[in-house]
Amino acid sequence: MSNQKKALLTDSEMQIIDMEIWERTEHFNFFQSIKSNNYGMTVQQDVTALCNFRKKINGNGCKRRFSDILYYFATRAANAIPELRTRIVDGKPVLFDVVHPSFTYVPKGRNLHANVLARYAEKFSEQTAYFDAARENSDQSPTLMPEGGDKQNLIYFSIVAGVAFTSTTTPWGDCSYDSVPRILFGEMTKTESGKASLPIAIELLHCLADGKHIAEFFKLFNEMCMEPEKYLV
């Protein structure tokens, strides 16, 4: 199997959650009774150590896209939290063993973005190869509806260059079936002292996860930003 084909394989094992014993059943039913139960939070993430490390490795001839690092860190953090791998399929809550990154990308020769899916890999070196193969595929066949893009075992990513936002919202469909978390990255800013900050916004369904799960996500993401050398291998 070619690396490009493997990069586009975004399959997962799915477990239907038993509502009779699920601790979250009452919360799921309560928030699903609300028309729109999506909510979100925005943080200003310190990426100083990450930027310094990326500059160092790129100076050694190992060119790494900043977006690849962000998508990888966020997908890795999400996969470590069961609530961020929980989705709604056919009206029922399910738990995936792994979720994969889906991101916006402007293909070569175009002005508008396409949607791209890539397989998740635990090793960053393997993940970047998947990202590159997925972008190459999008250059050849750009679309907003890639094969597998209608599945729920994903995390949606996008980057808004030029906007150092402090809050944001993203488009959602019907929350009875559209249950994929959205993560948006903004423009990096730097202080005179050299500290670099990046706005990161996450939105998800309250019927599936609470604020403490978002806090856990940002805690893991921050740990990776503070010690990137442990993860970018």
What percent of the chain shows pLDDT beyond 70?
A: 98
For residue range 179-203, what is the model confidence (pLDDT) as tens digits?
A: 999 999 999 999 988 899 999 999 9
Mean pLDDT of 49-62: 88
Domain 3-230 bears CATH identifier 3.30.559.10: yes
Residue 218's contacts (CB-CB under 8 Å, 6 or more residues apart) are 43, 45, 200, 202
User: Averaged over 49-70, what is the pLDDT?
Assistant: 90
- Specify the 3-state DSSP secondary structure of 112: coil
Question: What pLDDT score does 6 carry?
Answer: 76
Q: Is the pLDDT of residue 116 over 70?
A: yes
Distance CA 56, CA 120 (A): 25
Query: What percent of the chain stands above pLDDT 90?
Result: 90
Residue 57: per-residue pLDDT: 87
Encoding tokens for residue 63? 């060119």
Cβ distance 60 to 217 under 8 Å?
no
Q: Mean pLDDT for the chain?
A: 95
Q: How far is CA 100 from CA 85, 145, 187, in A?
A: 10, 16, 24
- Which alpha helices (DSSP H) does the chain contain, by range? 3-7, 25-32, 48-59, 66-79, 124-140, 211-226
Prediction pTM value: 0.95
What's the mean pLDDT in 128-152? 96
DSSP type of residue 11: -
Q: What would the mean pLDDT of 217-221 be, rounded to a whole number?
A: 99
The domain spans of the chain are 3-230
